[in-house]
A and B are shown apart, each in its own frame.
Chain A
Amino acid sequence: MSDSLLSIEGLVVSYKTEGLRRPVLRDISLEIERGEVLGIVGESGSGKSTLLFAIMRYLTSNAVIESGAIRLEGLDLLRASREALGRLHGRRIAMVYQDPAQALNPAMRIGAQIAEVRRYHFGEPEVVAGRRALALLTDVGIEAPDRIATSYPHQLSGGQQQRAMIAMALAGEPALLLMDEPTTALDVVVQARLLELIRELKRRTGVSVLFVSHDINVVDAIADRIGVLYAGDLMELGPAKAVLRRSRNPYTLGLLAGIPRIDQRVRLRAIPGSPGARHDADDTCVFADRCAVAEPLCRATRPPLVEAAGRLSRCHFANDPARFAMLSRSEPLAVNPSSSTASPTSLLLVSGLSVDYGRRGLFRRDVVHAVRDVSFALRRERVLAIVGESGSGKSTLARTLLRLQRKVAGAITFEGQDVFSLTADALRRFRQRVQIVFQNPASSLNPRKTVGELVARPLLLAGVPAERARERAATMLAAVGIDQGMVARRPRELSGGEKQRVAIARAFVTEPALVILDEPTSSLDASVQASILELLDRLKIERRCAYLLITHDLAVVRQAADEVIVMQAGEVRESGPVEAVFSEPRHSYTRSLMSSVQKL
């Protein structure tokens, strides 16, 4: 504990709900050295936010700190007075939040918000603080700092907002920055630049960073050391290379094996089950239920954090690497069979499609050209990916293909029929043949309906008798891995992965020829993502279905698609077979996307 800036010792935190105490952090001990970036990787329910809030003492009122200490430069934060914390926050520790749009005060100019920190902590007069704010904005790489300083948060782009947030955090010249998913809300190109900024700031100012994220690739790009958190337990902690390249923990290995790669197709292996806090795991390994190499010992004794090859790992078998051989990174997968072997008939034909998007009220008309002159063809049983960042028009395109949005020009032909001039009967059939799976199942499943009702509804709508619809829904649910016992439950009682399975079942129950997948895995935890991709791959083959995969994630494209279209600002920049586009991107935009992706 020689020179560590922050040290957390035996921290145990639990939440009180309905009279029970559920542990969310179990005996966490870690240290952050000066000038170091410690990355914490965790899925939902891992306790990563609780850890940050405990350091800031922002825990909710039902959180109980059972034991432990958090020391910053020797001062015990858990026992410090409110006044002492007030002097510390913004000065010695500062926090950068996931969503800068919410963390910045919308009614204050950016410059004034940054200057406020200087005035509060250093008592600088307004003019001096204002000048300092400009210098800080320049430091975080904002062009035209004068203009930005006098702007309000909503006038800035997401990337600029996050930079302003970082400038504000740096204003107190803190020793430690806490970053909570700081890049998650950003597009990949912006994300890459922000990570570069954090690296540079660390070099220049010697600030330490606790960087929390669910995205292993991002953490890998930034962290010197990495801690892997699962269900409130620190599973592995050590130098980044040791943890991510030569892991000695089944959970870390499982996570890594489930992540699609941008450079090649690999056989993804999902961790069975779903992540989440275990409430009863006081004397077992928290991961035992999902672990592929668990032994009776793992369910009888909680493993200690043991030293293994230069890192700490919470596994009884951390020093027995042979056991993990079967878990380590999986073998490459053949490229999807080339187009000649698949059915050559085209299912969906889009030509010269343009769509305007805007709010059209009685007195209002702000129209944006969301999609401009887009053409492509999708053959039966193939997967076409549409890649683009937010605002590229890819979601508008999807809605137009479903005939939920009016087009301005062009034609969409599905199974030989013009989608926009279908008769009522043909439209009803079209609605069954084309389905959609949304990004966020929490929003796409009506919270007031049961799983059984949700999946049976498209059949009832198609005129299938109730009894038969129920049977078919149950069969479909079984096919996606939702067992009979969940049929009467409502969405909120399911995990994120289970919800997405229900949404997929609902899409497939009418035996569609085309399913539009709108970011189907991006709201899911890493360990669940692989199982959903696997399920989609299986359903495609079994049910002879084509996919239109809309995503921002190039690795998912590599994994799941045959062909790809790269969109930017409503226009197609590049298209072709995935292998060709990925190995030799021709358009500069595609190249910048590729180079921004953090590779593991």
Chain B
Amino acid sequence: MSKWGLWALLARPVRTNAYLATGAALTLVAIAVAILGVIWTPQSPTGVDLLHRSTGPSAVHLLGTDQFGRDVLSRVMAGAWRSVSLGLSAMLLAAAMGVPLALAGAYWRGWVDAVLMRLVDAVLSIPSLVFALLIIVGLGSGHGQAIVALGVAAAPRFVRVVRGAALDAASQDYVVAARARGEGAFYTQYREILPNVWSPIVVEASIFAGFALMGGAALSYLGLGTQPPAADWGVMVREAQRYTFQSWWPLLAPAATISLAIVGFNLLGEGLRDRLHLVDRRADE
């Protein structure tokens, strides 16, 4: 065993647990805050306090107020739902589109697979945010449109990742056995192959949810996502940047929550990747 190998072994369990634990904690907090923000905030997110405009943190306004004297903490909480749900919805949409295509390609192979993968390559050669912008151009701006744009733009990533695992599963004898006893394409794809490719799907979904959250914020920041007066974190950053010199809290708070949520989803994905690979390897033995 080389020195490096030894270090990797020593570091591995700690790192795996830390990734997974931190990622899961951040993700859970983000989702909890998003749900809480819908039903309760410390102050009204739209309540204007003209006496305290652009103030720093205080006992009443824990994260200060914005240029209209609105409570930043309450606004971050209220905006969380739109940002987090956008990430999760775009992820679900991307998976819902990508997974069936990946399964179909892996099952039929041949020209179905070849055509599909060339399409995927073509789309992947365009940066996803640019591709999402192209879709927005077609659909118009808005929260729902942003979800569709990001989800569609990310579907090829799911196809690529899931197809790899699905090809492996599809080459196993249990798939040949299914065909030999006359199973249909649907049963073979969704009951024989799909249960064996959950791990890459879950990992990719988790990492992509963070990416979509960021993409959603970026679209809102550009004025193409959520439209004011509704606010998500991207809209908040956009509005706050003009008043940065009066108070930087309205800018820092949503920017920091965006970062924390992205880090959370990514760490969760990395942690899951280590953990699920470990489980799969054990299953093989």
Contact = CB atoms under 8 A, between A and B. Distances in A.
B180 A492 contact: no
Interface in A419-450: 427-428, 431-432, 434-436, 438-440, 442-449
A313 B284 CA distance: 35
A174 interface: no
A431 B181 contact: yes
Nearest to B9: A61
Interface in B230-285: 283-284
A438 B177 contact: yes
Contacts of B176: 399, 404, 436, 438, 444
A10 to B, nearest CB: 25
B15 interface: no
Contact of B195 (A402, A446, A458, A510): A446
A361 to B, nearest CB: 5
Contacts of B177: 436, 438, 444, 506
A461 B182 contact: yes
B110 A360 contact: yes
A443 B196 contact: no
A402 B174 contact: no
Contact of A446 (B1, B174, B180, B181): B174
A137 B111 CA distance: 44
B179 to A, nearest CB: 6
Interface in A393-431: 399, 402, 404, 427-428, 431
B110 A361 contact: yes
A362 interface: yes
A444 B173 contact: yes
B28 interface: no
A399 B182 CA distance: 13
B172 interface: yes
B168 to A, nearest CB: 11
A492 B174 CA distance: 14
B9 A404 contact: no
Interface in B74-130: 110-111, 113-115, 118
Nearest to B187: A461
A427 B182 contact: yes
B180 A402 contact: yes
Contacts of A434: 180
Contacts of A427: 182
A110 B113 CA distance: 36
A122 interface: no
A58 interface: yes
Contacts of B1: 58
Most-contacted residue by chain B among A362, A428, A446 (CB, 10 A): A446
Contact of A438 (B118, B173, B195): B173
A449 B110 CA distance: 28
Contacts of B182: 427-428, 431-432, 461
A439 B176 CA distance: 12
B118 A443 contact: no
B118 A362 contact: yes
Contacts of A439: 173
A439 B195 CA distance: 23
Interface residues of A, number: 33
Contacts of A431: 180-182
A362 B115 contact: yes
Contacts of B283: 447, 492
Contact of B111 (A361, A428, A445, A447): A361
Contacts of B111: 361-362
Interface string B1-32: 10000000100000000000000000000000
Interface residues of B, number: 23
A458 B118 CA distance: 37
B183 interface: yes
Interface string B172-201: 111011011111000000001001100000
Interface string A547-586: 0000000000000000000000000000000000000000
A260 B46 CA distance: 84
A58 B196 CA distance: 32
Contacts of A457: 181
Nearest to B285: A492
Nearest to B179: A404
Nearest to A58: B1
B181 A435 contact: yes
A461 B183 contact: yes
Nearest to B282: A492
Nearest to A439: B173
A279 to B, nearest CB: 16
Given A361-B110, A362-B114, A445 B174 contact: yes
B233 to A, nearest CB: 39
Contacts of B181: 431-432, 435, 457-458, 461, 510
A432 B181 CA distance: 7
B195 A448 contact: yes
Nearest to A445: B174
A448 B193 CA distance: 10
Contacts of B179: 404
B180 A447 contact: no
A350 B110 CA distance: 28
B202 to A, nearest CB: 14
Contact of A444 (B113, B174, B196, B284): B174
A508 to B, nearest CB: 12
Given A435-B180, A461-B182, A447 B173 contact: no
Contacts of B196: 446-448
A299 B181 CA distance: 46
A444 B172 CA distance: 7
A565 to B, nearest CB: 21
A519 to B, nearest CB: 11
Given A404-B179, A447-B283, A492-B283, A361 B195 contact: no
A261 B192 CA distance: 39
B279 to A, nearest CB: 11
Nearest to B12: A61
Nearest to B113: A361
B106 to A, nearest CB: 14
A457 to B, nearest CB: 8
A428 B181 CA distance: 8
A443 B174 contact: yes
A427 to B, nearest CB: 7
Contacts of B174: 443-446
A402 B183 CA distance: 13
Contacts of A404: 176, 179-180
Nearest to A443: B173
A448 B175 CA distance: 13
B253 to A, nearest CB: 45
User: Which of B114, B177, B182, B196 has the most CB atoms of chain A within a 10 A radius of its CB?
Assistant: B177
A588 to B, nearest CB: 34
Interface string B155-179: 0000000000000000011101101
Nearest to A437: B177
A382 to B, nearest CB: 21
A427 B177 CA distance: 15
Contacts of A61: 9
Contacts of A361: 110-111, 113-114
A445 B175 CA distance: 9
A436 B175 CA distance: 12
Contacts of B183: 461
6 contacts: A361-B113, A434-B180, A436-B180, A438-B176, A444-B177, A461-B183
Interface of A: 58, 61, 360-363, 399, 402, 404, 427-428, 431-432, 434-436, 438-440, 442-449, 457-458, 461, 492, 506, 510
Q: Name the 4 nearest CB pairs between A and B, nearest first.
A: A431-B182, A362-B114, A444-B173, A448-B195
Given A360-B110, A361-B110, A362-B115, 12 more contacts: A362-B111, A428-B182, A434-B180, A435-B181, A436-B176, A436-B177, A446-B192, A448-B195, A448-B196, A461-B182, A492-B283, A510-B181
